[in-house]
Amino acid sequence: MNKKIQLLDLGQKDYKETWEYQEELFKDIVDLKIRNRREELDLETPNYFLFVEHPHVYTLGKSGDLTNLLLSEKQLEAKGATFYKINRGGDITYHGPGQIVGYPILDLENFFTDIHKYLRFLEEVIIRVLADYNIVGTRSEGETGVWLGVGTPFARKICAMGVRASRWVTMHGFALNVNADLGYFDNIIPCGIRGKAVSTLNVELGVEKVDEVEVKEKIKKYFSELFEAEFVTFKEATV
């Protein structure tokens, strides 16, 4: 089993370009697995992890409800935002500057074959990161992601998650609000859940800006601990 994960920080990159790139990496792994099975080979499958920050964009999961987007096409354009219906689970969410997005593209057969466990591990990574800032992040039953103040009138989501998996290969991932502009969430019903707010790390800490490089380092640390993995320098996918 290959427990090395090739890490690439894309900086700020268009959502559609990043989605297409994810699909390429995802397909490379799936194709290699098919080849292994067909030709009775045992070639090592790679794992990838992309960090990225997107320009303002709203994305709707395959089972999501379009009415949870509260803007017309013209209003989207006026806000400098784009919209895509995509092939992950979950409903609608927002991505934009000040948000750390992580896309693990893993062959789970290198780790464990349990999607439920995978999602709980993603949540646990973020919960541990928040704990380093003395913030108590928790799960909310039946609502994937990481929340604050669950069980109170002030429940709010700080990290959204949505994944796709095929042949135990994952794509899409999580979006942690670090210094994001919360005003953009007013244009949707986040994750299709009414009556619950959204927050960011800088708001919770009462500071103007949180060091995003530091947050990424913490994500890497806890991800590697939980998945018993090692991050290595990214290499272009080859099959």
Q: What is the mean pLDDT of residues 199-225?
A: 98
Active site residues per annotation = 191
pLDDT band, residue 46 (cuts 50/70/90): very high
Please give the structure tokens belonging to residue 3.
Answer: 């427990």
pLDDT band, residue 231 (cuts 50/70/90): very high
Candidate from 43-52, 87-96, 154-163 with smallest mean pLDDT:
87-96
**Strand, coil or helix: what is 104?**
strand
Please give the structure tokens belonging to residue 234.
Answer: 């990214």
Q: What is the mean pLDDT of residues 159-177?
A: 95
Q: Of residues 18 and 142, which shows the higher confidence score?
A: 18
What pLDDT does 222 receive?
98
Tell whether 139 is in a known binding site: no
Please give the structure tokens belonging to residue 200.
Answer: 């960011």
Q: What is the mean pLDDT of residues 6-10?
A: 97
Distance of CA 59 to the CA centre of its chain: 12
Element (H, E) at 164: strand 156-166
pLDDT band, residue 92 (cuts 50/70/90): confident
pLDDT band, residue 192 (cuts 50/70/90): low
What pLDDT does 194 receive?
58
Tell whether 175 is in a known binding site: yes
pLDDT band, residue 239 (cuts 50/70/90): very low
β-strand pairing of 48-53 with 99-105 = antiparallel
pTM above 0.75, yes or no: yes
What pLDDT does 37 receive?
94
Tell whether 162 is in a known binding site: yes
pLDDT band, residue 26 (cuts 50/70/90): very high
pLDDT of 235 above 80? no
CA 56 to CA 98: how far, in whole Å? 10
CA 4 to CA 123: how far, in whole Å? 21
Tell whether 29 is in a known binding site: no
Tell whether 171 is in a known binding site: no
Q: Of residues 40 and 236, which shows the higher confidence score?
A: 40
What pLDDT does 191 receive?
55
Element (H, E) at 168: none
